[in-house]
Structure 1
Amino acid sequence: MYARRWGDHDRHFGPFLFARDRRYKHLALLISSGSVDDDEDGCFLRFSCYGFTVIVSLPQIIRPHSEWVDLSDRDWATPRQDGRKGYTQTDERVFGLSYSEGFLQFKLGRSTGDSTTDRTKGYFLPWTQWRYVRKSWFGLDGEHLRTDWESSDMETRRNAWQVQREFEDAMPKAVFAFKDFDGEELTATTHLEEMEWRFGTGCFKWLSLFRRRRIRRSLDIQFSGETGRRKGSWKGGTVGHAIEMKKTELHEAAFRRYCSENKMTFVGVA
Structure 2
Amino acid sequence: MDPLEEDFAFKYFTKGAPIKVESVLNFDLKEHLKSPYLWTTIVAGLGLAYYFLTSDDEIGIGPAGAFENNNAENGVDNFNQYNYINQDVIPPPQQQQQQQQQQQQQQNNHIHHNHNHSHNNNNHHNHVQQTTTTTTTTTTTSSSFLPITPPPPSNVQHVKLKNKNGEPLPLEEQNLLLLRENSNLRGENRDLRVWVGNQINNINDRMEKMQTDLEREKFCHICEENEKQVCWRECGHRLCARCATLIKKTSHPQCSICRKLVSDFYLAWNT
**TM-score of Structure 1 vs Structure 2, range by shorter chain:** under 0.3
When normalised by structure 2's length, the TM-score is 0.16
Greater Rg, structure 1 or structure 2?
2
**Larger relative helix fraction:** 2
**Larger relative strand fraction:** 1
